[in-house]
Chain A
Amino acid sequence: MSSTTQNKVCIVIGASHAGVNFAFALRREGWEGEIILYDNDKEFPYHRPPLSKAYLTSEEGTEQSLLFPKENYKTDNIVLKLGIAVNTINKEEKTITLANGSVQQYDKLVIATGARPFLPPIQGLDLAKNVFPMRTAEDAINIRKTINKSLTKRAVIIGGGYIGLETAASLKKLGANVVVLEREERVLARVTAPVMSDFFTQLHQNNGVKILTSKNVISIENKDDHNVVVCDDGTKLNADLIVVGVGIKVNSELAQNAGIVIENGIKVDETAKTNDTDIYAIGDCTYHFNPHYKYHLRLESVQNAVDQAKTAAKAICEQEVVYDTIPWFWSDQFDVKLQIVGLSKGYNQIIIRQEEAKNSFSTWYFKDDELLAVDAVNFAKAYVLGTKFIKSKQKLDKSKISDLSIPFKPNSFLA
């Protein structure tokens, strides 16, 4: 690094995947000054994806799934300030103000505030008992406790996205009677093709989860010991537990109030920098450019959080860097592992390759001749090969992809 960072202070707001990975990456890149992380959440920073999956069905606490072991914060001299809210950012003074009124100076500030669950305006939702989102360890523990305590174990999940479906699968494993209510005509409508929606609907139904689509929840009636979920078509469902998974709201207020440019999230450049030279933003809260797909987007994923964190760390340590990745995601439901690579937005053709094994197939999303994304169900090879093809932009012979007589090898599908 050209200038010494010994007496400098880097503050990170938000200690989840993005913030924590950033802190360790910054140290790795050679930052010698202080690194201080703040988060509202009192829990020691943990992996979020397991919350709706393995964590919900286990008896474990988050100590089994810490992002980094506690010792590493000490050895890397990263200061964690948990359970502390940041109230304001003053970018002219280069300070932040904490909820307790104290003021902290920074040289570089990184906003990793993520997002919070969106709670839809449903009448009675705010008064209903045993209603939880699924975002934090506390949410997962509350859900687990509620279902384990209930004798009738009637769970209603509002929202058939990945969070809703993963939670449904986990609750089923805990012995609950689970109903998923989806407002659209199919589950996962916002994120995937109809064929994938059909597959997951079938998977859940085969495992005893009820999936009801085109159900718009309008009110929750509170009874003595349970809730009644009411839909606009008159459907009524008794619920001992309600999980709300209808999307998120970006935590961008702190940045917005400080005069940082917001556009569908905190707008950052290719180095994760905001419109202020000393303020960066990373993870779910950012609106950024993807050079491969050539459009701006916001991404809710571990991959984006971790990779943008690494980018910002390099940039702050004055290295040449451009955030340029192919997004990837995963989801586990029952015995199915879904792996997604790429962004399917704008596709005009899909090719399905069904393997001989049941429940093992892949969906290939094309825009004309360009492969945009692959959804691999219990077939990681398609995920890995799809990643290669998307990155290299190699021309593929689409007819070969669905042909099972052609061996699944890197050169088999080239045009």
Chain B
Amino acid sequence: MAKITFITSDGNTTIVEGSTGSVMELAVQNKIKGIDGDCGGVCSCATCHVHVNPEQWDKTGAPDELENDMLEFDDNVSEYSRLSCQMKVSEDLDGLILTVAK
């Protein structure tokens, strides 16, 4: 079980719990505003972009090449950008804080 905090663009903070699937799926399930996951989680639409709390970057690790390519030219990209469909929910992510990208 992992508790993950989402901070949305309207400033709301939501803490959700999950144990399986991707972080994107967990967010959709909990109606986190700004996470759509239109492509179903195959790294094709970038509608699940989040910024990882910099201090927790080692929890999530860096994106792979495809994910990085999807993010590199995004207007709202940061050093700590990830596509949440490419992050698996596991106990390693317990306590993670994610800010939903605009």
Contact = CB atoms under 8 A, between A and B. Distances in A.
A215 to B, nearest CB: 31
Interface residues of A, number: 25
B40 A49 contact: yes
B62 interface: no
Contacts of A385: 73
Contacts of B69: 379-381, 384
Contacts, number: 51
Interface residues of B, number: 19
B31 A380 contact: no
A65 B24 CA distance: 13
Interface in B44-91: 44-46, 66, 69-70, 72-74
B40 A65 contact: yes
A72 B29 CA distance: 7
A339 interface: yes
A384 B75 CA distance: 11
Interface string B9-51: 0000000000000000100110100001011101111100000
Contacts of A384: 46, 69-70, 72-74
A68 B28 contact: yes
Contacts of A72: 28-29, 31
Given A306-B38, A330-B39, A71 B29 contact: yes
Interface string A381-411: 1011100100000000000000000000010
Contacts of A39: none
A328 interface: yes
Contacts of B29: 68-69, 71-72
Nearest to A382: B69
A347 B44 CA distance: 24
Nearest to A337: B66
A279 B77 CA distance: 40
Contact of B66 (A28, A49, A69, A380): A380
Given A380-B70, A384-B74, A328 B45 contact: yes
B45 A410 contact: no
Given A380-B66, A384-B74, A388-B73, A330 B44 contact: yes
A330 B28 contact: no
A65 B42 CA distance: 11
Nearest to A65: B40
A317 interface: no
A66 B29 CA distance: 11
A27 to B, nearest CB: 9
Contacts of B25: 69
A28 B28 CA distance: 13
Contacts of A303: 38, 45
A69 to B, nearest CB: 5
Nearest to A357: B65
Given A71-B29, A380-B66, A50 B40 contact: yes
Contacts of B46: 384
B11 to A, nearest CB: 18
Interface of A: 28, 47, 49-50, 65, 68-69, 71-72, 302-303, 306, 328, 330, 332, 337, 339, 379-381, 383-385, 388, 410
Interface of B: 25, 28-29, 31, 36, 38-40, 42-46, 66, 69-70, 72-74
3 smallest CB-CB distances across A and B, nearest first, come from A380-B69, A47-B40, A330-B44
23 contacts: A28-B31, A47-B40, A49-B39, A49-B40, A50-B40, A68-B28, A72-B29, A72-B31, A302-B38, A302-B39, A330-B39, A330-B42, A330-B44, A332-B42, A380-B43, A380-B69, A380-B70, A381-B69, A381-B72, A384-B46, A384-B72, A385-B73, A388-B73
Given A47-B40, A49-B40, A380-B43, 11 more contacts: A68-B28, A302-B40, A306-B36, A332-B42, A380-B66, A380-B70, A381-B69, A381-B72, A383-B70, A384-B46, A384-B72
